[in-house]
Structure 1
Amino acid sequence: MKQRGKKWFLLLVSIILFLTVYLFYKNNWGQHSEDKQQVVNVYTARHYQIDNEIFQEFTRQTGIQVNEVKGTAEELIERMIREGEASSADLFIAVDGGVLNFAKQSEVLQPLTSKLLIQNVPAEWRDSDNYWVGIATRSRVIVYAKDRVSPSELSTYEDLTNEQWEGKVLVRSASSLYNQSLLASFIELSGESEAEKWAAGIVRNLSRNPEGGDKAQAKAIATNIGDVAIMNTYYIGQMSVSPDPEEREIAEQLGVLFPNQQTTGAHVNISGVGLAKYAPNKDNALKLAEFLTSREGQTMLTQGSYEFPVNVEADMPEMLKDWGSFKRQPVDIANLGYFHKQAAEIFEKVGWQ
């Protein structure tokens, strides 16, 4: 009798242990799966505070945590290639149409299967196969000192190569992706010879060797180092509302000219997002892409960065509204990357540092 009771006791203990272990693993695995579904991993080449604010708002509304991995676009693409199917990347964000197309050609993206994205983003700012969509646009324009330059003296990028502007032109270095794509657009529109002629003219008219970012060019105008500069539009907007009073004062001194309105149009490029090929959190990634391109997300983006929104329903800052519509270059921004190598060779040849 005692032996039988002992057997029953051991059996009961075994059952209890089994159930305890089973429930422990079940609960922890279930929690792990739930946690996995509530994240989205973003490989991004953008470094703007407004992006973080948008991600935080997305998390507040959805409960999905946004994890950022930052680097240059080239570094991030190489990382996704190296990681292969084990990659944690869900979304890839870059600041150039040619780079986004390079990511597509590198087979690290998959089509964005979302009807809402198609509704939010006009076809002109989407890949034809939906491997990426734009989230913002910008123009690379001519900025000038309002107290020393009349806008009637300038109308085109080519004007900056005239003898009148010798020793007065400011621009950042040849390593700038913005300048590489600008020159690439000239190669696509006018051919390599004309593009080289333009680049040589800019080098000839520089007031100093290229240094610093776009804001550094604006500050150099304010300190009379030069009179005109090539800059992205959003930097002017950001400086106009900067917490730094010096930047606000500088912005007041600058005029903005959208070049080539009677000829080829002003250069425009995009920031955009693509869905990683092996995205482990695909549904969450699509939700974030949809939020980034929604009226709410786009309004946050344009109000915070002064980039132009891709969603026409977004509420732009007054400065962007005042600039109004303008003629853009008739180039396919996705093809700009094909001319980056030629652009780099031209920069080196003409001595654009």
Structure 2
Amino acid sequence: MRKVVLASLVSALSIAASANAAELNIYSARHYQTDEQLYGNFTQQTGIKINRIEAKEDELLERIRTEGANSPADILITVDASRLAKADELGIFAPVKSAQLEARIPAHLRAENWFSYSTRARVIVYNPSLVKAEQVQTYEQLADPALKGQVCTRSGSHPYNLSLGAAMIKHNGAEATENWARGIVANFARAPKGGDTDQIRSVAAGECGVAIANSYYLARLMNSERAEDKQVVSNVKAVWPNQSSWGTHINVSGAGMLKHAPNKEAAVKFLEYLASDDAQAYFANGNNEWPVVSTLKVDNPALNALGEFKADTLPIGELAATVAEAQRIFDRAGFR
């Protein structure tokens, strides 16, 4: 009888362990409808059930920090190198060694403790009625006094602008970047406000002549069937900046396995899955972005219309390392 009870106990524990291993807990700051297909496809392929909590980045990071070693989270997914760097600085990621990820994701789009899965470009959008194309071919030109009163932008403390500032520090140096930031501030058409779509709309309306925006915001407007969006698109033009120098600034969506992940094996499988062709299509197209796997072609009318461009190949880990310095520079320059 004792042997039977013991055998039953062992069997129950095995079943419990198996059930636990067949789950994955994801904290995500991405909120796109196509991500449902992304997660559903993973479960269909592996049998691993996904439990997901979605919130803003700061809320998720605070939750992970508070939960500590008892956190149920296995994976953190978020956008922008500065946010991934912030998470890494908190020491919440665990390193992952995977030949599959190293083979699929270019080296400059991998950091030590996290991986990029899609990219977006920081483009220059201008109103041809107010600004000439030759005036806005580089990020540096946006600080030219000739554009005084013409520049619209979102807050300098936003991660998208901080990541661009971090890249400029790496390419041009801190002093040149601070001078650039001061020039940007001197050229403001108005105080920074709103998101990237607001900047594009302001350029289209003639409130300003030029703005910087992430490519997917422009692509979203280009793919829209709404008459007002079509009008916005018809009133603006886009430039891939710095094609004759270091290339257009690139940022990312990315993910990493958490240090206290209870389901590490499933977490690694999921990170590897995100680099698969199926997942790359969902992950990138869900937000009008580009996949990091170069062999996968994107079928997106807006992105195809924007055309090919030379992208900055600065290693994403190096970019993340100068985000804090970019914030200090922007603060001194009054870019807030």
Q: Which TM-score bucket, shorter chain as reference?
A: 0.7 to 0.9
Matches within 5 A, 1:1-40: 32-40=16-24
Letter in 2 for 1:125: L
**CA contact under 8 A between 2:28 and 2:78: conserved in structure 1?**
yes
Look up the match of 2:71: 87
Of residues 134, 137, 152, the one that matches 1:170 is 152
**CA contact under 8 A between 2:151 and 2:189: conserved in structure 1?**
yes
Letter in 2 for 1:307: E
Look up the match of 2:310: 327
3-state SS in 2 of match to 1:293: coil
| 2: CA distance, partners of 1:61 / 1:41 | 17
| 2: CA distance, partners of 1:244 / 1:62 | 39
Look up the match of 2:124: 142
Of residues 28, 41, 47, the one that matches 2:31 is 47
Q: TM-score, normalised by structure 1?
A: 0.83
| 2: CA distance, partners of 1:331 / 1:77 | 26
Q: Which moved more, 1:267-276 or 1:105-114?
A: 105-114
1:314 aligns to 2:279 (yes or no): no
| 2: CA distance, partners of 1:124 / 1:184 | 15
Look up the match of 2:54: 70
**CA contact under 8 A between 2:110 and 2:317: conserved in structure 1?**
no
Q: Residues 157 and 314 of structure 1: is their aligned pair in 2 closer, same or farther, counting only changes over 3 Å?
A: same
| 1: CA distance, partners of 2:222 / 2:332 | 37
CA positional deviation for 1:348:
2.4
Of residues 162, 174, 180, the one that matches 1:192 is 174
1:267 aligns to 2:245 (yes or no): no
CA positional deviation for 1:215:
0.6
CA positional deviation for 1:26:
8.0
1:222 aligns to 2:243 (yes or no): no
CA positional deviation for 1:29:
5.9
Q: TM-score, normalised by structure 2?
A: 0.87
3-state SS in 1 of match to 2:77: strand
**CA contact under 8 A between 2:284 and 2:291: conserved in structure 1?**
yes
Of residues 28, 32, 42, the one that matches 1:58 is 42
Look up the match of 1:160: 142
| 2: CA distance, partners of 1:342 / 1:283 | 36
Letter in 2 for 1:145: N
3-state SS in 1 of match to 2:116: strand
Look up the match of 1:345: 328
Of residues 269, 277, 286, the one that matches 2:268 is 286
1:239 aligns to 2:212 (yes or no): no
CA positional deviation for 1:65:
2.7
| 2: CA distance, partners of 1:294 / 1:330 | 22
CA positional deviation for 1:327:
2.9
**CA contact under 8 A between 1:296 and 1:314: conserved in structure 2?**
no
Q: Which structure would you say has the larger Rg? A: 1
| 2: CA distance, partners of 1:136 / 1:106 | 23
| 2: CA distance, partners of 1:235 / 1:183 | 20
Look up the match of 1:251: 233
Q: Which moved more, 1:342-351 or 1:213-222?
A: 342-351
| 2: CA distance, partners of 1:331 / 1:74 | 26
| 1: CA distance, partners of 2:171 / 2:286 | 33
Look up the match of 1:3: none
Look up the match of 1:96: 80
1:180 aligns to 2:167 (yes or no): no
Structure 1 vs Structure 2 CA RMSD: 2.9
CA positional deviation for 1:31:
5.8
Count of aligned pairs: 335
**CA contact under 8 A between 2:223 and 2:301: conserved in structure 1?**
no
CA positional deviation for 1:310:
0.3
1:277 aligns to 2:277 (yes or no): no
| 2: CA distance, partners of 1:333 / 1:120 | 16
Unpaired runs of 5+ in structure 1? 1-17
Look up the match of 1:303: 285
**CA contact under 8 A between 1:117 and 1:290: conserved in structure 2?**
yes
Q: Which moved more, 1:228-237 or 1:240-249?
A: 240-249
Q: What percentage of residue pairs aligned between the two structures are identical?
A: 35
Q: Residues 104 and 346 of structure 1: is their aligned pair in 2 closer, same or farther, counting only changes over 3 Å?
A: closer
| 1: CA distance, partners of 2:6 / 2:225 | 57
